[in-house]
């Protein structure tokens, strides 16, 4: 911020400040004795603002400087835009809200409880035999090895729950044993509670079942390997939904702030590098696209 000069009284300072505001030059004024100091925030605007200040001192009554009304309208519009933005986003500092933020989502916290129970039952995701019935295809565990029969035999035989139940499985992560389930449950707690509070528990159940099943099917179809799991597919569906719905239908009260979306996309890209271990990237991608498409349809329908 740079000082470019002084004006003799408050009225001139307000008039000149309004004029610069219309020109999209941000300024601040400081009372110094009998004068008002004019400060310009951006160095890129110093030369222009200095020239305009000289013109204003020479001809303060010039019509082009009498821009009070347009400036007032612009400020009102900026304030309205800011208020609308704040209503439709989840601030980054509230990424992990308390129960009072969105209420106690029965479905959200039930999912968290089940995922944690499965994680503990499977010895932190290391005992596959205990959770073999949750994988998308039958898995036979023999000591430290396992085998399965390719195809969709288990589901065709009537075990249709396998389409969804992989979302309940979480594996140990190198470095931090509970990293996989911890971060998934943090995202689910935040976005699941928001979704459930705004759109209803029943609708959230449908959303979880559909996006969970389709992201699991996409992962298995692409890799032909049944040993995968996690809530990430549903979480990325929630991320895609909140982002798109917040842009096309802010009145729904479901949104995601820019910073959180950037972090989600950074992690999304990092998972493709292999640095964080084996990741169900197809489930991530399909979940994100499904959630975004679902939100687009909802925003147009409502």
Are the C-beta atoms of 117 and 170 separated by less than 8 Å? Answer: no
Looking at the fold, whether 56 and 142 belong to one and the same domain comes out as: no
DSSP 8-state code for residue 185: H
What dihedral do alpha carbons 134, 137, 140, 143 form, nearest 10°? -70
Q: Could you tell me the residue range of the domain that residue 78 belongs to? A: 2-83
Task: Record the tokens describing residue 23, joined without a space.
Answer: 């020109």
Any idea what the CATH number is for the domain that residue 268 is in? 1.20.1540.10
Lowest-pLDDT choice from 56-60, 195-199, 285-289:
56-60
Angle at CA of residue 276, ends 273 and 279, nearest 5°:
80
Q: How far apart are CA 7 and CA 33, in angstroms?
A: 11
Looking at the fold, whether 173 and 69 belong to one and the same domain comes out as: no
CB atoms within 10 A of CB 266: 10
Task: Record the tokens describing residue 264, joined without a space.
Answer: 């989600």
Looking at the fold, whether 193 and 242 belong to one and the same domain comes out as: yes
The residue-averaged pLDDT of 138-158 equals: 83
Looking at the fold, whether 260 and 143 belong to one and the same domain comes out as: yes
Q: How far apart are CA 288 and CA 211, in angstroms?
A: 9
Task: Record the tokens describing residue 30, joined without a space.
Answer: 């400081």
Residue 129: pLDDT band with limits 50, 70, 90: confident
Instruction: Pick the last residue of a domain from 34, 66, 83.
Output: 83
Looking at the fold, whether 259 and 144 belong to one and the same domain comes out as: yes
Looking at the fold, whether 59 and 105 belong to one and the same domain comes out as: no
Q: Is the pLDDT of residue 302 over 70?
A: no
Tens-digit pLDDT profile for residues 16-68: 777 777 777 888 878 777 788 888 888 788 888 888 888 888 887 777 776 55
- Helix H or strand E segment including 153: helix 153-156
Q: How far apart are CA 295 and CA 14, in angstroms?
A: 45
Looking at the fold, whether 13 and 53 belong to one and the same domain comes out as: yes
Instruction: Pick the last residue of a domain from 83, 115, 134.
Output: 83
Q: Is the pLDDT of residue 91 over 60?
A: no
Looking at the fold, whether 214 and 279 belong to one and the same domain comes out as: yes
Q: How far apart are CA 246 and CA 238, in angstroms?
A: 12
Residue 73: pLDDT band with limits 50, 70, 90: low
Q: How far apart are CA 171 and CA 1, in angstroms?
A: 52
Instruction: Pick the last residue of a domain from 63, 83, 103.
Output: 83
Looking at the fold, whether 119 and 158 belong to one and the same domain comes out as: yes
Looking at the fold, whether 146 and 242 belong to one and the same domain comes out as: yes
Looking at the fold, whether 179 and 104 belong to one and the same domain comes out as: yes
Q: How far apart are CA 292 and CA 279, in angstroms?
A: 21
Q: How far apart are CA 29 and CA 244, in angstroms?
A: 40
Report the DSSP pairing between strands 35-40 and 2-7: antiparallel
SS3 28: strand
Q: Is the pLDDT of residue 102 over 70?
A: no
Residues sharing a CB contact under 8 Å with residue 229, sequence separation 6 or more, in sequence order: 134, 135, 166, 167, 168, 169, 170, 171, 280
Looking at the fold, whether 204 and 235 belong to one and the same domain comes out as: yes
Task: Record the tokens describing residue 41, joined without a space.
Answer: 């925030």
For the chain, the domain total comes to 2
Q: How far apart are CA 280 and CA 158, in angstroms?
A: 25
pTM of the model: 0.65
pLDDT over 90 for what percent of the chain? Answer: 42
């Amino acid at each position: 911020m740079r000082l470019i000069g002084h004006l003799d009284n408050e009225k001139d300072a307000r008039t000149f400040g309004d004029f610069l505001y219309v020109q999209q030059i941000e300024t601040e004024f400081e009372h110094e004795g009998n004068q008002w100091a004019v400060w310009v925030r951006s160095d890129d605007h110093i030369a222009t603002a200095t020239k305009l200040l000289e013109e204003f001192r020479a001809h303060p009554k010039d019509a082009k400087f009498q821009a009070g009304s347009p400036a007032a309208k612009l400020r009102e519009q900026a304030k309205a835009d800011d208020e609308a933005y704040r209503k439709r986003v989840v601030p980054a500092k509230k990424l992990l809200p308390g129960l009072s933020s969105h209420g106690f989502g029965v479905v959200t916290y039930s999912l968290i409880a089940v995922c944690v129970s499965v994680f503990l039952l499977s010895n932190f995701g290391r005992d596959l035999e205990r959770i073999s019935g949750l994988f998308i295809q039958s898995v036979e565990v023999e000591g430290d090895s396992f085998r399965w029969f390719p195809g969709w035999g288990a589901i065709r035989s009537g075990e249709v729950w396998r389409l969804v139940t992989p979302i309940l499985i979480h594996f140990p992560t190198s470095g931090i044993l509970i990293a996989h389930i911890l971060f998934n449950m943090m995202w689910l707690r935040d976005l699941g509670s928001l979704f459930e509070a705004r759109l209803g528990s029943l609708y959230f159940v449908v959303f979880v079942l559909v996006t969970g099943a389709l992201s699991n099917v996409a992962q298995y179809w692409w890799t032909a390997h049944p040993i995968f799991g996690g809530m990430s597919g549903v979480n990325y569906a929630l991320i895609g939904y909140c982002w798109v719905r917040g842009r096309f239908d802010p009145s729904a009260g479901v949104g995601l702030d820019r910073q959180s979306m950037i972090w989600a996309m950074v992690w999304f890209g990092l998972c493709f590098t292999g640095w964080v271990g084996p990741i169900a990237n197809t489930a991530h991608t399909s979940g994100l696209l499904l959630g975004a498409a679902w939100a687009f349809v909802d925003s147009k329908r409502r």
